Amino acid sequence: MTHTDSEAILLLDHGSRDPEAKIEFEQIADALRVRCGLPVSPAYLELAEPPVLDQLKALAKAGIRKVWALSAFLLPAGHVKSDLPAALSEARREFGLEIEYGKPLGLHPALLLALRDRWREAASGLPTMTKEDTAVLIVGRGSSDPDANGEVAKLARLVFESGECEFAQTAYVSIARPFAPEGLAQCAALGAKQIVVLPFFLCTGVLVRRIRQQAEAWAAAYPAVRVATADHIGLHPGVLEALLERLTELRSGEDRSIWCDRCKFRAALPGHEHSLGAAITSDHTHGLRHSRSHAALAPSPSPQGERGEAMRPEEITRRSFEIIDAQLRTRGIGLPTSLEQRAILRRVIHTTADFEYADLLEFSAGVIEAGRAALASGAVVICDVRMVQMGLTGLEGRVLCFVDDETVRAESRATGETRSALGLRKALVQAPEAIVVIGNAPTALWETLRLIDSGAARPRLVLGVPVGFVGAAESKEALRQRADVEWIITRGRKGGSGVAAAIVNVLMTEHAQSSLSRSPA
């Protein structure tokens, strides 16, 4: 494969909190580099370093001018259709790069052979292996995009067509149903005496381990059915073959389009008509915002019920919570045990419409009790930015935010430190035992931790949910390791001012209700 010194491959992956997943993906990148002879730079949408934009900036600084953005995503969901195009568009403008973006791996024949190898390896460990008694349960990631979920169902049919199993069923580990335990029950109901669980994941990670744990738990509860869980695809020759073919397509101009035949942004899919014409966009947890749209945007309709009747705000909220509660019940995975933590999760999901927070929210052991005590004592609340302060209710006169203070502005200009960090420092000098709420600036969280270490601050609790690509995940992980302060965090890059305000408002509501219940009649 001929190439110039000014071109390189950007190998795109979602990212995982599991360091083993990053090691595996970098092994795939190294193997691809050997096969194609081009420089290969891995980049991650979230949860791992380096982010897409940081890697593209580094390539531009290294003199690269042509980038082949090669997707290692298996399916065409929202990240492939919106977040990545938005980030790549921003990089074209900011760094002057020529970037060509190809379609995801999809159900490439080489990947189907890799999956066959994985289920055969797992099946070989079962006592008997007869086609008539055997089901294969393909477990995908799960998405709000019906196109991506449909591809997993299509994969199940292709596995069935191989002729090596009596049944091939579909399940998902998150968002979409049926979930893995439900899929196992369906296989058993169809008469399967042994089931091979086949994770449709390229690399290992939290979700892959979850699938194995769920399969083991189900098998323990139903010992009459034998269950074996296959490995994820991993570094298989079929992966390299599929990547090389996608690269050849991209370089030849044969097919540079993402999959759009069943894209919910281009076609009015039943049940997803509201997505038609939505803009290609992203957020600070994935990429940067982008204004280009698939089609002309229609005005948003007024909130309506099932029969089109206008709904009152309180009815909209109640209906939203019913939907959230139903989803949380069906997931049944990693949900907080305390009522207060569940209330916080519920409100955060209501604020963001993102069920991934069920996996991202974490609480220190005593944070709820610390929050109750702090609020009962009238503790001051310190915010890193005005946007957090604007979202708080019931705390009039108790909130400090100096991000716009003139002395803070002047010091920031003189020292180069961020106004958020300087404002946090000034507030903690005035109220060292405050509740600290950080929804925007990782630098403010780092400054809080520094002041705790120096003994200058003793916050009652720290709510650390800054959002972004640079320092957000790292600062929250540093807070998570602390045993000398109570905390609430969102792992990874997600978070934001709205999330921070939502959490504080729940704590205030719980405090108010608790105070009312203790009041004499």
From the list 108, 274, 350, 511, the catalytic residue is 350
**Edge-to-edge strand ranges of the sheet holding 487-490:** 361-363, 487-490, 461-464, 435-438, 381-383, 399-400
Half-sphere exposure of 216 (CA within 13 A, CB side): 7
79 is annotated as an active-site residue: no
Residue 379: CB atoms within 10 Å: 20
Please name the residue ranges forming H helices in 354-441.
357-360, 367-376, 386-391, 406-415, 419-430
| Residue recorded with tokens 């998902």 | 172
Cα-based distances in Å from 495 to 81, 194, 368, 439: 22, 42, 19, 7
H/E segment holding residue 7: strand 7-13
Compute the distance between CA of residue 80 and CA of residue 73 in angstroms, rounded to an integer.
7
Confirm if 499 and 472 have CB atoms less than 8 A apart.
Answer: no
Side-chain half-sphere exposure of 246, counting CA atoms within 13 A? 33
Measured between its terminal Cα atoms, the distance across the chain in Å is 82
Nearest to 79 by CA among 43, 124, 109: 43
| Helices 206-221 and 180-189: angle between axes, nearest 10 degrees | 40
**Residue 450: Cβ-neighbour burial (10 angstroms; 0-12, 13-18, 19+):** middle
Instruction: Say if CB 4 and CB 37 are below 8 A apart.
Output: no
> Catalytic residue positions?
350
